[in-house]
Chain A
Amino acid sequence: MDVRAQLVMVFNLDKCLGCHTCSIACKNIWSDRRGAEYMWWNNVETKPGAGYPKFWEDQRKYKGGWVLKGNYVKLRAFGKFSTLLNIFYQPYMPKLEDYYHPWTYDYANLYNAPEADDQPVAEPVSLISGEKIDIEFGPNWDDDLSGSPLYAENDVNLDERRIISSFGKLFMFYLPRICNHCLNPACVAACPQRAIYKRGEDGIVLVDQNTCRGWRFCVSACPYKKVYYNWNTGKSEKCIFCYPRTETAQANACAHSCVGRIRYVGVILYDADRLDVALKVRDEELVEAQRRIILDPKDEMIRRAAKENGVPDSWLDAAIKSPAYALIREFEVALPLHPEFRTMPMTFYVPPLSPVLATQRIAYDVEDHEAIPDMEHLRVPVRYLSKLFSAGNEDVVVDALQKLIALRAYMRAKNLGESPDEQILRKASLDTGATERLYRLFTVASYHERYTIPSLHREYLDVAPSDERRGGRGFGIIAKPRGGL
């Protein structure tokens, strides 16, 4: 047993209101730089929808992630030698337009325009070339357009494209995304320079800016398209899980700023020895296999193995208090995003119930039995959710949704002073204690219950690594990139 710790983020999609505060907090801190204007390490997209970059989930186009071939898990696009043969031009890399062309406005014209009959306007100019451009696409261009034939209808998770045009069946929810800091990161495996690595202590995946040469295989290989190429520095960048914050036990900027309190950050322990086995199961079994390698932090044997592996006591305690462990493993309501990419992503999503009902007529039907709808009446189709969160295994999603529904039914009855039916809970394999805990986590949990991030204890290390960065300016770029002479 090789017990390792991993920082994990969980998103409760029922509560995401699509305000993009997380994206702005992230951008202000990390990607408000030349070359990084187009990057949104944290983004929130509307589902069904095109996403960011456009149609990132479509691996027929981008060839990201891993595939199971016999008893081997291989990168979908290239092996080692074909990587080197394709190093001069990458066939599957997204282009700038798949994200959007970053722009600003020529505000000076508002002041400097000569006197004329018309009001002066601030025309859009490219942030790359400074030339005037026509804006054809931008960040969150399809925000809330879940009925759009141009974007939403081409969502690869939709079996039935017609569902989009049928007004009564229209549905949407928001999907906030950061780097998943995967256990089997495709970006790391694809880098011929070995510039990307996973930190052993907390599992954060980082790009070493000193080693990166800009071969860009990470950009193509990441099936979530969460590694970005900085055209100014000629290097790749990605979400760093706000490690300077988490190392000092502070919540990530996106989580910290979340208005809807949808995010949870905590430690999980996993068995790195069983990772290999868990990656080689059939698509439908992936969620279950991923859950099985997550270990119980209360188990004495596991704690001992973790300690032997150098996991500090404070991390073990944090793992017990971790909301991530509770939601993912204990209650099994949080699911990974696209497990079929086989990167074993380490962000998890509680699937959305709301808006609960599709049509009013069903509401009358439902009121006869507890005001909670049946699974087939849910507005967001289970089939669609299963394509996103369980590689098509509907049972996994139904189990999670049933718990959420039972929780609502039970708490509703309780709040109305009626005698709550514990039968509902049992059917969803919950008990009153678990329900109360889930309810607390989803509703009134305090900051410190939602974010249980232990410090990395750099103070105990021989050398404070911040020494080498002292005097630097932010994100590792201590000199202006010149690109030559």
Chain B
Amino acid sequence: MLDVLIFAVLPYFAIALAIFVTPYRYFSNRLDWSTFSTQFLERRSLYWGSIPWHYGVVLILAGHIIGFLFPSTIQSLLSDLSALIALESIALGLGLMTLFGSIILLVRRFSGVVRAVTSYADWVLLLLILLQAATGVYMGLFVRWGMEWYLHTAVPWLYSLLTLNPQIGFVSGLPLVFKLHVAGAFLILAVLPFTKLVHFLFLPLDYLKDPPILYRWVRREKQLGK
């Protein structure tokens, strides 16, 4: 029952929320679509929280996505034991960075000014990312060679989700910590449109290609019927 909830119901629920509510929020009111950075108010501990967390999570997430997109390539890469050990070690290091960062990010929220600007959504989000980092690191340490078994369990299950034919058999035998990790992942996706996490939907293509100074013409835009 719990397996069905975690591996079939929650994913679709979360994806539906992310797909439908995020654009709604984007088009209805973007005035609170922000990073809500607190660096301005408190920077010393943010440095130790934000940098390890962001760099850790960006690379870890990229690893998950690459494994999902190119399972056979990664499989052949991992068949070399030394490559597996090297990659697992790197991933564990990044995971520890993420865990360290998320602990700092949560703890710093308890103090004075930062607490005052912390919303319920921020608390939920910070707890979720801490849980996610903790379960991830735990698996890296005690449920060994996750890179290897991820390709044969979670990846086929994720593909089965995509084809609207969830095969929870791929993952139902895995330990509880994995289930928590999956539940955490989809909970984060579910709360995405309701929290400041939307700030990660950011593609700076214009920034990279535009000339440095941006002009807007009130008259010209109106004349062009924009």
Shortest CB distance A33–B (Å): 13
Complex contact B216–A199 (CB within 8 A): yes
With a cutoff of 8 Å between Cβ atoms, the chain B residues found around residue A116 in the complex are: none
Other-chain contact of B112, A131, A199, A213, A481 (Cβ < 8 Å): A131
Residue of B nearest to A216 (CB): B37
Interface size grouping (class) on chain A: 35 or more
Kindly state whether residue B149 has any CB partner on chain A within 8 Å: no
The proximity string for A residues 103-127 relative to B, scoring 1 for CB distances below 8 Å and 0 otherwise, is: 0000000000000000000000010
Q: Which of B28-36, B71-79, B138-146 contacts A (4 or more CB under 8 A)?
A: B28-36
B206-226 contacts to A, CB under 8 A, are 206-208, 210, 212-220, 222, 225
Q: Given A234-B36, A485-B120, do A80 and B208 touch, yes or no (CB 8 Å)? A: yes
Shortest CB distance A131–B (Å): 6
Residue of A nearest to B43 (CB): A95
Complex contact A126–B217 (CB within 8 A): no
Kindly state whether residue A82 has any CB partner on chain B within 8 Å: no
Within the assembled complex, what's the spacing in Å between the Cα atoms of A23 and B213? 29
Kindly state whether residue A479 has any CB partner on chain B within 8 Å: yes
Q: Which of A145-153, A181-189, A287-295, A395-403 contacts B (4 or more CB under 8 A)?
A: A181-189
Kindly state whether residue B195 has any CB partner on chain A within 8 Å: yes
Within the assembled complex, what's the spacing in Å between the Cα atoms of A215 and B202? 11
With a cutoff of 8 Å between Cβ atoms, the chain A residues found around residue B213 in the complex are: 184-185, 188-189, 198
Kindly state whether residue A129 has any CB partner on chain B within 8 Å: yes
Q: Which of B48-56, B60-68, B162-170 contacts A (4 or more CB under 8 A)?
A: B48-56
Kindly state whether residue A301 has any CB partner on chain B within 8 Å: no
Shortest CB distance A277–B (Å): 15
The proximity string for B residues 161-192 relative to A, scoring 1 for CB distances below 8 Å and 0 otherwise, is: 00000000000000000000000000000010
Kindly state whether residue B150 has any CB partner on chain A within 8 Å: no
Q: Which of A83-91, A160-168, A254-262, A352-360 contacts B (4 or more CB under 8 A)?
A: A83-91
With a cutoff of 8 Å between Cβ atoms, the chain A residues found around residue B222 in the complex are: 461-463
Complex contact B204–A192 (CB within 8 A): yes
Other-chain contact of A229, B37, B112, B196, B220 (Cβ < 8 Å): B37
Complex contact A212–B34 (CB within 8 A): yes
By CB atoms of chain B within 10 A, which of A89, A93, A95, A128 has the most? A89
With a cutoff of 8 Å between Cβ atoms, the chain A residues found around residue B38 in the complex are: 231
With a cutoff of 8 Å between Cβ atoms, the chain A residues found around residue B120 in the complex are: 484-485
Other-chain contact of B121, A196, A456, A483 (Cβ < 8 Å): A483
Complex contact A196–B41 (CB within 8 A): no
With a cutoff of 8 Å between Cβ atoms, the chain A residues found around residue B55 in the complex are: 88
Other-chain contact of B220, A130, A310, A477 (Cβ < 8 Å): A310
Complex contact B40–A93 (CB within 8 A): yes
With a cutoff of 8 Å between Cβ atoms, the chain B residues found around residue A193 in the complex are: 202, 204, 207
Residue of A nearest to B209 (CB): A80
Q: List 20 other contacts, CB 8 Å, given A93-B40, A126-B116, A232-B117.
A: A88-B55, A90-B39, A93-B43, A95-B39, A95-B43, A192-B204, A194-B206, A199-B215, A200-B216, A201-B218, A215-B35, A231-B40, A310-B217, A310-B220, A458-B218, A463-B222, A477-B31, A478-B29, A485-B120, A485-B121
